[in-house]
A and B are shown apart, each in its own frame.
Chain A
Amino acid sequence: MENSTIMIQMSDIYKSFNNIPVLKGISLEVKKSEVLAVIGPSGSGKSTLLRCLNTLETIDGGSIKIKGEYLAKNSDGKAEYADKKTQKHILGQMCMVFQQFNLFPHMTVLENLLEAPLHVKNMKKNEILPVAEELLRKTGLFDKRDAYPSRLSGGQQQRVAIARALCMSPDIMLFDEPTSALDPELTVGVLNTMRQLAEEQMTMIVVTHEMGFARDAASNVIFMADGNIIEKAKPHDFFSNPQEERTKSFLKNMLK
């Protein structure tokens, strides 16, 4: 697949919670191997946008296309979702990393990684075990493989969550504020794992407050406010020469 392949195409996405609009006609495209950083104040709709991509939230209007396949299609201004089987196929290509890690507490680190490959993909243990162990080595958690999540630091838990997602060999990784629940010194390890993933050409959407990561690891940055995309730019331009007033004031506050 060449690098210009469009992996994610969202057009004119509308979403309301109890009649309060949170996404007001968002459109965006993500190409293969692109790392898209989504930043913006809380309540701007950036997490909702991400959650709409993998059906944790359903959209009211607009269309979502993943690798050329419709997840939801616009029909008379309303979003019409693909059938269950198609949805399952599309969603199988994406994995998500959450702010609160959401590891399975009753399973060891290794069991967390193996759970979905064994029981969703029905892989054999001897097929997936080497993959899981390699991922644990890469994230520096091999010696923790038999520990329960409660014994790990937040940073380690988040790296396990990333490894668990990667164990499903997704084409697209979604990160929902992956470091927001971590102490500052623990974010480094998580961000390094994500940087490494970006270097390996993973397609990623990262909702984040980490301006440093957006600046030097993202290929594009989107700034959202009040359910709209205010500005989209290359990181360098975005941080050194923002165009919109709203962006400027946000960045001024963030970098204070």
Chain B
Amino acid sequence: MHNILNTIALMLEGTETTLQIFFITLVLSIPIGMLVSLARLSRLKPVSWFMELYIWIMRGTPLMLQLLFVYFALPMAGIKLSDITAALLAFTLNYAAYFAEIFRAGIQSINRGQYEAAKTLGMSYTQTMRRIILPQVIRRVLPPISNETINLVKDTSLIYILAMNDLLRVARTIVQREFDMTPFVVAAVFYLAMTFVLTWIFKRLEAHYGKYEV
């Protein structure tokens, strides 16, 4: 009994690291993704191309490789980051690219008539985006954003290669030390609990932002 409680206490510590990476990445990558999508849709071709290149690289290489690159390659170029900063940098850059594509799809799904109505009423581009387009985009992108967010919870486990003690790494350490598979089950339950909460939050958000639909 004492053993189980001890295991759970250790794993809660690991969960803290997991949640820390999760929340900070989410809070940074969503607004960055929004800006990237707007830049990607820019009429200035070089800006648009640069964003396309960035998205291609981020989506076209493994997240694990990006983590290793930030952690091991950047220091060779004289950029030394702490474990957590390196992890956050890689996660944020990677997730911002995915979020950008989700926002782009959302923005492009809004009827041209909405822009025209706003224009004939005298609204500027910024006003049109902020007050007319983006509120409708949020409603439409919530399901894919929810998908990505749940992915992020699980992707945080990749930081084990940076020797950070997240939930999964703690579980694995205990399993290897005590030849007992229970920590894996406990870890699964922890991940399920986190995604359950997220699913519930997104359901509420969808209901809130969808109240104007039939």
Inter-subunit contact A120/B127 (CB<8 Å): yes
User: What are the residues of chain A within 8 A of B111 when measuring CB–CB?
Assistant: 100, 102
Residue in A55, A106, A149 with the greatest tally of chain B CB atoms within 10 Å: A106
Contact of A54 among B120, B131, B136, B211 (CB under 8 A): B120
- Shortest CB distance A31–B (Å): 22
Inter-subunit contact A95/B119 (CB<8 Å): no
User: What are the residues of chain B within 8 A of A164 when measuring CB–CB?
Assistant: 121
Inter-subunit contact B123/A120 (CB<8 Å): yes
Q: Scan B82-118; emit 1 where CB is below 8 A from any A CB, else 0.
A: 0000000000000000000000000000010110110
Inter-subunit contact B213/A150 (CB<8 Å): yes
How far is it, in angstroms, between the C-alpha of A150 and the C-alpha of B127 when the chains are bound? 23
Q: Scan B127-138; emit 1 where CB is below 8 A from any A CB, else 0.
A: 100011001100
User: What are the residues of chain B within 8 A of A150 when measuring CB–CB?
Assistant: 212-214
Inter-subunit contact B120/A95 (CB<8 Å): yes
Inter-subunit contact A98/B121 (CB<8 Å): no
Query: How many pairs of A and B residues are in contact by the CB < 8 Å rule?
Result: 64
Cβ-based interface call for A96 (8 A): yes
Cβ-based interface call for A56 (8 A): yes
Cβ-based interface call for B60 (8 A): no
Cβ-based interface call for A116 (8 A): yes
Inter-subunit contact A119/B127 (CB<8 Å): yes
How far is it, in angstroms, between the C-alpha of A151 and the C-alpha of B214 when the chains are bound? 7
How far is it, in angstroms, between the C-alpha of A95 and the C-alpha of B116 when the chains are bound? 11
Cβ-based interface call for B78 (8 A): no
- Shortest CB distance B18–A (Å): 35
* Chain B interface SS verdict (over half): helix
User: What are the residues of chain B within 8 A of A115 when measuring CB–CB?
Assistant: 121, 131
Q: Scan A147-183; emit 1 where CB is below 8 A from any B CB, else 0.
A: 0111100000000000011001000000000000000
Cβ-based interface call for A88 (8 A): yes
Inter-subunit contact B114/A104 (CB<8 Å): yes
Inter-subunit contact A105/B136 (CB<8 Å): yes
Contact of B120 among A56, A104, A107 (CB under 8 A): A56
- Shortest CB distance A78–B (Å): 21
How far is it, in angstroms, between the C-alpha of A78 and the C-alpha of B145 when the chains are bound? 47
Cβ-based interface call for B139 (8 A): yes
Inter-subunit contact A105/B212 (CB<8 Å): yes
Known contacts A100-B113, A150-B213: does B121 contact A106 (CB below 8 Å)? Answer: no
User: What are the residues of chain A within 8 A of B119 when measuring CB–CB?
Assistant: 54-56
Task: Give the nearest-CB partner of A94 in chain B.
Answer: B120
User: What are the residues of chain A within 8 A of B116 when measuring CB–CB?
Assistant: 56, 96, 98, 102
- Shortest CB distance B153–A (Å): 29
Inter-subunit contact B212/A148 (CB<8 Å): yes
Known contacts A106-B212, A150-B212: does B117 contact A168 (CB below 8 Å)? Answer: no
Inter-subunit contact A104/B117 (CB<8 Å): yes
- Shortest CB distance B168–A (Å): 40
How far is it, in angstroms, between the C-alpha of A86 and the C-alpha of B212 when the chains are bound? 37
How far is it, in angstroms, between the C-alpha of A116 and the C-alpha of B122 when the chains are bound? 7
- Shortest CB distance A87–B (Å): 10
How far is it, in angstroms, between the C-alpha of A119 and the C-alpha of B120 when the chains are bound? 14
- Shortest CB distance B212–A (Å): 4
Inter-subunit contact A104/B132 (CB<8 Å): yes
Inter-subunit contact A120/B122 (CB<8 Å): yes
User: What are the residues of chain A within 8 A of B117 when measuring CB–CB?
Assistant: 96, 98, 102-104
Interchain Cβ contacts under 8 Å between A and B, 12 examples = A54-B119, A95-B121, A96-B117, A98-B116, A102-B114, A104-B114, A105-B213, A119-B123, A121-B122, A148-B213, A149-B212, A150-B212
CB-CB nearest 7 A-B residue pairs: A102-B117, A116-B121, A102-B113, A148-B212, A120-B122, A96-B120, A150-B214
Binding site for A on B (CB under 8 A): 111, 113-114, 116-117, 119-123, 127, 131-132, 135-136, 139, 211-214
